[in-house]
C-alpha cells in the first residue's frame, strides 16, 4: 500500500506511526473562509509555515484577537481535528469543522476572511492504513457521529487517493446537530438520524451492525469518531464480531502535546496513556471503554 496521506511529498519526516511532527511553537495562520454547513461551520485557513497533516491528527486553535484577556474565557486554545488539508506554493490549506458549544468555539465561529488563526500542530497519532490493522483488509468502513465526521473526511480522501475502497456511515442527532456532508463528496455514504430528518431513523451503529452482518469480519476494518456513547457502541460491536477498529477519541485537552496530563485515560493492559500524544486515534482493542470522562459531545 502506498504511503497514507495526501502529503506524500512531505512524508519524509514522519514518525513510525505515520504522525507528521509539528514545527516548534505556535504559528499565525490566516482565515480564508468561514462558512455555515448545516448546524456547523467550516473554517478554512492558510498555514504558511506548516506541513500537511495526516488524517486523524489535530491542531490546538485560538483566535489572534479576543481570546482570553480581562479575565474572560477562553484562556486555553482548543483542540480541533483537521477535516481537509491540501498543499500549494503558499502553504497548507486547512479546514476545520466546528460545532459552537462554548466560549472558544463561539469566538472561532465569528472569524472572518483575513483574521489571524493561531495554530499549534499537527498533533497526535493519525489513522493507520487498513492492512496494518488487518492484513486481509478489503477496504475500510468509516463511522462518524455528529461533529466526529471531521477527521474521517480527511481519512476518506486519503484512502480514495490510494485507491482503497471505503464506505461511510454518518449519523446525526437532529437537524440542528448535523452538517459537514460536503466534506464527503464522491463518497458512498449511508446516513442515519435520531429524529429521522435524514436517512435511517435511529443510530448510525444500527447501520454498522447491518453492514458487519453482511460483511466478512475477516476482511473488515472500522474507523470511528463521534460522541463517547457512539464510540463505545462501535467498540463493543467490533469486539463482539472480532473486527479490527480504530477510534478517534476526545478528552478535555489543556496543552495538546503531552505536558499537562489532563487527557490521561486508562489502558486495557494497565496504566495510562495521554490521549494527545498516544492518541487521539487509538486501537479499539487497547481500551476497555470509549466512555471518557469530560468528553462532552452527545
Ligand atoms: C482531539 C480532539 C479533536 C476535536 N475535534 C473537534 C472538531 O473537529 N470540531 C469540534 O467542534 N470540536 C472538536 N473537539 C472538541 C472541542 O475541542 C471542545 O468541544 C472544546 O472544548 C470546545 O471549546 P469551547 O470553549 O467552545 O467550550 P468549553 O468551554 O470547552 O466546553 C463547552 C461544552 O463542551 C463540552 N466539552 C468540553 N470539552 C469537550 C471535549 N473535549 N469534547 C467534547 N465536548 C467537550 C462540555 O461538556 C461543555 O458543556 C475536539 C477535541 C479533541 C480533544
Ligand atoms: S492535553 Fe496536556 S498532556 Fe494531553
Cβ contact 94:134 at 8 Å: no
Tell me the three cell numbers of residue 90.
503558499
Q: What residue ranges line ligand 1, CB within 6 angstroms?
A: 58, 74, 78-81, 96-99, 101-105, 147, 150, 250-253, 280, 295-297
Nearest protein Cα to ligand 1, atom 42: 295
pLDDT tens series, the chain, 298 aa:
333 344 443 344 677 788 999 999 999 999 999 999 999 999 999 999 899 999 999 999 999 988 886 667 788 999 999 999 999 888 899 999 999 999 999 999 999 999 999 999 999 999 999 999 999 999 999 999 999 999 999 999 999 999 999 999 999 999 889 999 999 876 679 999 999 899 999 999 999 999 998 877 788 899 999 999 999 999 999 999 999 999 999 999 999 999 999 999 999 999 999 999 999 999 999 999 998 766 656 5
> Shortest CA distance to 125 belongs to which of 4, 248, 265?
248
- pLDDT at res. 250: 93
Query: How is residue 219 annotated by DSSP?
Result: T
The burial class, CB within 10 Å (0-12 / 13-18 / 19+), for 285 is: middle
Site to probe by mutation for ligand 1, drawn from 63, 280, 297, 298 as the one with most ligand atoms within 8 Å of Cβ, is: 297
According to DSSP H, which parts of the chain are helical?
Answer: 103-109, 130-133, 149-161, 204-214, 228-241, 275-278
The reply to whether ligand 2 has any atom less than 6 angstroms from the CB of 256 is: yes
Site to probe by mutation for ligand 1, drawn from 53, 250, 264, 278 as the one with most ligand atoms within 8 Å of Cβ, is: 250
- pLDDT at res. 152: 97
Give 185's contacts (C-beta < 8 A, 6+ positions apart).
Answer: none
- pLDDT at res. 229: 94
Helix (H, G, I), strand (E, B) or coil at 132: helix
Measured in Å, residue 235 CA sits from the centre of ligand 1 at 21
Cβ contact 125:54 at 8 Å: no
Measured in Å, residue 102 CA sits from the centre of ligand 1 at 8
pTM flag (> 0.95):
no
- pLDDT at res. 9: 33
Measured in Å, residue 248 CA sits from the centre of ligand 1 at 14
The reply to whether ligand 2 has any atom less than 6 angstroms from the CB of 124 is: no
- pLDDT at res. 1: 37
Amino acid at each position: 500500500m502506498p504511503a497514507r496521506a495526501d502529503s506524500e511529498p512531505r512524508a519524509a519526516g514522519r514518525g513510525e506511526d505515520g504522525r507528521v511532527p509539528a514545527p516548534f511553537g505556535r504559528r499565525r495562520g490566516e482565515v480564508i473562509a468561514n462558512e455555515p454547513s448545516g448546524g456547523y461551520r467550516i473554517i478554512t485557513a492558510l498555514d504558511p509555515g506548516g506541513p500537511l497533516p495526516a488524517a486523524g491528527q489535530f491542531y490546538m486553535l485560538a483566535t489572534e484577537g479576543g481570546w482570553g484577556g480581562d479575565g474572560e474565557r477562553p484562556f486555553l486554545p482548543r483542540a480541533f481535528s483537521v477535516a481537509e488539508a491540501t498543499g500549494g506554493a503558499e502553504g497548507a490549506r486547512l479546514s476545520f469543522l466546528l460545532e459552537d458549544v462554548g466560549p472558544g468555539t463561539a469566538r472561532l465561529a465569528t472569524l472572518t476572511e483575513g483574521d489571524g488563526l493561531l495554530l499549534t500542530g499537527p498533533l497526535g497519532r493519525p489513522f493507520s492504513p487498513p492492512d496494518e490493522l488487518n492484513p486481509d483488509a478489503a477496504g475500510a468502513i468509516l463511522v462518524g457521529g455528529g461533529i466526529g465526521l471531521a477527521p474521517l473526511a480527511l481519512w476518506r480522501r486519503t484512502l480514495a487517493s490510494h485507491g482503497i475502497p471505503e464506505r461511510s456511515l454518518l449519523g446525526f442527532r437532529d437537524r440542528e446537530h448535523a452538517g459537514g456532508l460536503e466534506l464527503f463528496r464522491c463518497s458512498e455514504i449511508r446516513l442515519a438520524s435520531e429524529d429521522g430528518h435524514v436517512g435511517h431513523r435511529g443510530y448510525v451503529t444500527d447501520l454498522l451492525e447491518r453492514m458487519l452482518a453482511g460483511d466478512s469480519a475477516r476482511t473488515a476494518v472500522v474507523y470511528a469518531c463521534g460522541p463517547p456513547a457512539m464510540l463505545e457502541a462501535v467498540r463493543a460491536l467490533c469486539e463482539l464480531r472480532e473486527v479490527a477498529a480504530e477510534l478517534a477519541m476526545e478528552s478535555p485537552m489543556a496543552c495538546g502535546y503531552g505536558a499537562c496530563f489532563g487527557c490521561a485515560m486508562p489502558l486495557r493492559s494497565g496504566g495510562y496513556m495521554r490521549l494527545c500524544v498516544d492518541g487521539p486515534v487509538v486501537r479499539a482493542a487497547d481500551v476497555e471503554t470509549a466512555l471518557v470522562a469530560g468528553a462532552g459531545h452527545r
